[in-house]
Amino acid sequence: MIYLESTSEIYKHHNVLIWLTSSFKAGFINSAGFLAAGKFVSHVTGFGTQTGIAIGHEDYFFGIELLFIPVAFIFGGVTTSLILDQNYRKNKYPPYYIGQGFITLMIAVVI
């Protein structure tokens, strides 16, 4: 969630940069996931089924690997929320650059 004083702030330069960076990272992660696993990784709901099928076929390593993807997604959302929520409590503008930097760092670590 992004905190804005008014709707006119949506298209300010620093907010547009956040939108563009976020969409680039999402596309990059989806493309990298497809190239690495041969499956699109943007739909969290399908991972439960894919994990069950893999474990049912006694491919436990692949099942755990598939289960890790939505867990990492949830962990990233919780971590970013905790970082941004600290300033919401103080009625200050959240430091979105910290969340974006953290995501970029995690992508670099995975690469």
| Count of structural domains, the chain | 1
Q: What is the average pLDDT value for the chain, to the nearest integer?
A: 76
Predicted pLDDT of residue 41: 59
pTM: 0.47
On the CB side of 97, CA atoms within 13 Å amount to 2
pLDDT at position 42: 59
pLDDT of residue 62: 84
R_g of the chain, CA atoms, integer Å:
17
pLDDT of residue 74 exceeding 60? yes
In a domain, 44, yes or no: yes
Tell me, yes or no, whether 2 lies in a domain: no
Specify if 23 maps to a domain.
yes
Q: Which domain holds residue 41?
A: 9-110
Token pair, residue 64, equals: 């755990």
